[in-house]
Amino acid sequence: MDIHEYQAKELLSKFGVPIPRGGLAYSPEQATYRASELGSGPVVVKAQIHSGARGKAGGIKLCKSEQEIEDAAESLLGRKLVTHQTGPGGKLVSRLYIEEATNIDKEIYLGFVMDRASERIMVVASAAGGMDIEEISAKKPDTIIRVSVDPAVGMQQFQAREIAFGLGVDPEIVNKLVPAVMGCYRAFRDLDATMVEINPLVITKEKSVVALDAKMSFDENALFRRPHIAELRDKSQEDPRETYANDRGLSYVGLDGDIGCVVNGAGLAMATLDMIKLAGGEPANFLDIGGGASPERVTKSFRAVLRDKNVKAILVNVFAGINRCDWVAKGVVDSIKELKITMPVVVRLAGTNVEEGRKIIEHSGLSVISADTLAEAAKKAVAAAKNAA
Ligand code: GDP
Ligand code: MN
């Protein structure tokens, strides 16, 4: 789960990470009021959306007068901001963060991620932070500092100092950088984060250290024990297809193609996407119906898949172990009738109660397309979607 920049900053500041003063605004009037609370100096008006690269998309505006603040707020609120991370649809700006402007001397990149290969938290830092970090990490990978944290002892002060020295900052800055780095680490660990990114972490002309931007993501499987994190969720920033399915206990990820997938097991769901691609088609989603799925759950899955208006054909692929093919088949038949589905539905069943399952489909009188293997099912689904297009 992602959260907004202002939310991440608030969390991080509780762990001792210095942030600029700022306030939230939902209207141009509130924006100027928030700015007046900060004093009379320049402010930065920042669009709050679940995406980075807002600066390059015009979502970050430095304002020197009340009129400029009002204009910036007016132009951003209610608009869909398209960055190169949002996709062409963009993301709706409904909140602004108004922050006192900072005199930047140096922009540092600081990131914390789970490194799955080493099963450790990895700290990544670069002296060349700011808006072009992707380019720099591609062109000069040797300038990136990497430190991995031993989970038995946690991150140590000396490791934070190593990062600070590696960044080549003045000794007086090192002592300010170390608590900021340690604070981010503690926030990552204590809040079940999967990512913390400060880009840029700034050294100001006045020789202080502040997090000018902040991004955090959280492990959704841990949200049950982090209610104060769970409540930071902003559904308006999520793919509505995913919100719908996930709110109904389905494991669903939206994709860009036109073949809807109803599959059991995450591994088989991934394999199904691969097979569709191999057959020359594009999947519309990843969906794992889970084990022991009832006919009702299958219908729920069909409903979720059909909310995507790009879907032209549906592929059901079930390898039943704990599941039962007869239940799934009943679910498929019920769904087609109940939801009045007219698009082609391709079904491949294997495993527990497969014969009973096939019979239910055959005797339904519906024109379901059957397949014996995954490859055959994928080919048939791709052909059906192409015909319907
Ligand atoms: P992002 O583009 O979504 O990553 O948004 P950021 O919050 O990182 O802002 C983008 C860029 O705007 C930063 O890298 C800074 O260079 C610049 N910026 C943001 N806040 C300030 C500020 O207070 N003063 C100045 N001079 N530049 C700022
Ligand atoms: Mn940034």
Tens of pLDDT along the chain (389 residues) come to 999 999 999 999 999 999 999 999 999 999 999 999 999 999 999 999 999 999 999 999 999 999 999 999 999 999 999 999 998 889 999 999 999 999 999 999 999 999 999 999 999 999 998 878 888 878 888 889 999 999 999 999 999 999 999 999 999 999 999 999 999 999 999 999 999 999 999 999 999 999 999 999 999 999 999 999 999 999 999 989 999 998 898 999 999 999 999 999 999 999 999 999 999 999 999 999 988 899 999 999 999 999 999 999 999 999 999 899 999 999 999 999 999 999 999 999 999 999 999 999 999 999 999 999 999 999 999 999 999 87
Are 353 and 325 spatial neighbours (Cβ–Cβ below 8 Å)? yes
Q: What confidence score (pLDDT) does residue 228 get?
A: 97
Instruction: Please tell me the distance from the alpha carbon of residue 54 to that of residue 79, in angstroms, as a whole number.
Output: 13
Mutate to test the pocket of ligand 1, among 6, 9, 131 (most ligand atoms within 8 A of CB): 131
Q: Whose CA is nearest to atom 10 of ligand 1?
A: 55
Q: Does ligand 1 come within 6 angstroms of the Cβ of 52? A: yes
Question: Which one of the ligands is nearest to 130 CA?
Answer: 1
Check whether residue 171 and residue 39 sit in a common domain.
no
Are 304 and 250 spatial neighbours (Cβ–Cβ below 8 Å)? yes
Check whether residue 224 and residue 123 sit in a common domain.
yes
Check whether residue 211 and residue 107 sit in a common domain.
yes
Residues 6+ apart with CB under 8 A from 188: 112, 121, 196
Q: How far is the CA of 96 from the centre of ligand 1 (A)?
A: 14
Instruction: Please tell me the distance from the alpha carbon of residue 106 to that of residue 314, in angstroms, as a whole number.
Output: 53
Q: How many domains does the chain have?
A: 3
Instruction: Please tell me the distance from the alpha carbon of residue 245 to that of residue 250, in angstroms, as a whole number.
Output: 5
Check whether residue 290 and residue 342 sit in a common domain.
yes
Q: Does ligand 1 come within 6 angstroms of the Cβ of 55? A: yes
Burial category of 89 from C-beta neighbours within 10 Å (exposed 0-12, middle 13-18, buried 19 and up): exposed
Check whether residue 324 and residue 259 sit in a common domain.
yes
Are 165 and 144 spatial neighbours (Cβ–Cβ below 8 Å)? no
| Closest atom of ligand 1 relative to the 46 alpha carbon | 7
Instruction: Please tell me the distance from the alpha carbon of residue 2 to that of residue 173, in angstroms, as a whole number.
Output: 31
Q: Does ligand 1 come within 6 angstroms of the Cβ of 54? A: yes
**Can 252 be counted among the known catalytic residues?**
no
Which among 197, 242, 244, 252 is annotated as catalytic?
197
Check whether residue 320 and residue 380 sit in a common domain.
yes
Torsion of CA 51, 53, 59, 62, to 10 degrees: 130
Are 257 and 276 spatial neighbours (Cβ–Cβ below 8 Å)? yes
3-class state of residue 310 by DSSP: coil
Q: How far is the CA of 53 from the centre of ligand 2 (A)?
A: 6
Q: Does ligand 1 come within 6 angstroms of the Cβ of 44? A: yes
Instruction: Retrieve residue 153's tokens.
Output: 């002892």
- State how beta strands 345-351 and 313-320 pair: parallel
Check whether residue 172 and residue 305 sit in a common domain.
no
Check whether residue 244 and residue 195 sit in a common domain.
no
Are 259 and 385 spatial neighbours (Cβ–Cβ below 8 Å)? yes
Q: What confidence score (pLDDT) does residue 283 get?
A: 98
Whole domain around residue 175: which residue ranges? 1-19+103-238
Instruction: Please tell me the distance from the alpha carbon of residue 54 to that of residue 247, in angstroms, as a whole number.
Output: 28
Burial category of 39 from C-beta neighbours within 10 Å (exposed 0-12, middle 13-18, buried 19 and up): exposed
- If phi over 0 gives left and psi between -120 and 50 gives alpha, with beta otherwise, what is residue 297? alpha
Q: Does ligand 1 come within 6 angstroms of the Cβ of 101? A: yes
Residues with CB in 5 Å of ion ligand 2 = 199, 213
Mutate to test the pocket of ligand 1, among 21, 46, 60 (most ligand atoms within 8 A of CB): 60
Q: Does ligand 1 come within 6 angstroms of the Cβ of 53? A: yes
Kindly list the distances between the CA atom of residue 134 and the CA atoms of 91, 123, 129, 164, 194, in Å, as whole numbers in the listed order: 21, 16, 9, 21, 20
Residue that the structure tokens 């928030």 belong to: 34
Q: Whose CA is nearest to atom 9 of ligand 1?
A: 55
Check whether residue 326 and residue 178 sit in a common domain.
no
Give the domain-ending residue among 68, 83, 101.
Answer: 101
Give the domain-ending residue among 214, 238, 262.
Answer: 238
Residues 6+ apart with CB under 8 A from 252: 241, 242, 245, 246, 285, 286, 287, 288, 304
HSE-up of residue 153 (Cα within 13 Å, Cβ side): 8
Instruction: Please tell me the distance from the alpha carbon of residue 184 to that of residue 15, in angstroms, as a whole number.
Output: 7
Dihedral (CA of 53, 56, 62, 66) sign: negative
Segment (H or E) for 328:
helix 325-338
Q: What confidence score (pLDDT) does residue 132 get?
A: 80
Q: What is the CATH number of the domain that holds 47?
A: 3.30.1490.20
Phi, psi of 318 (to 5 degrees): -130, 125
Q: What is the CATH number of the domain that holds 195?
A: 3.30.470.20
Q: How far is the CA of 214 from the centre of ligand 1 (A)?
A: 11
**Partners of 196 in the β-ladder:** 112, 216
- State how beta strands 259-263 and 251-254 pair: unpaired
Q: How far is the CA of 152 from the centre of ligand 2 (A)?
A: 31
Instruction: Please tell me the distance from the alpha carbon of residue 335 to that of residue 359, in angstroms, as a whole number.
Output: 17
Check whether residue 3 and residue 135 sit in a common domain.
yes
Residues 6+ apart with CB under 8 A from 174: 161, 164, 165
Q: What amino acid is encoded at 232 in this protein?
A: L
| Closest atom of ligand 1 relative to the 100 alpha carbon | 23
**Can 6 be counted among the known catalytic residues?**
no
Check whether residue 42 and residue 111 sit in a common domain.
no
Q: How far is the CA of 11 from the centre of ligand 2 (A)?
A: 17
Mutate to test the pocket of ligand 1, among 91, 104, 107, 202 (most ligand atoms within 8 A of CB): 104
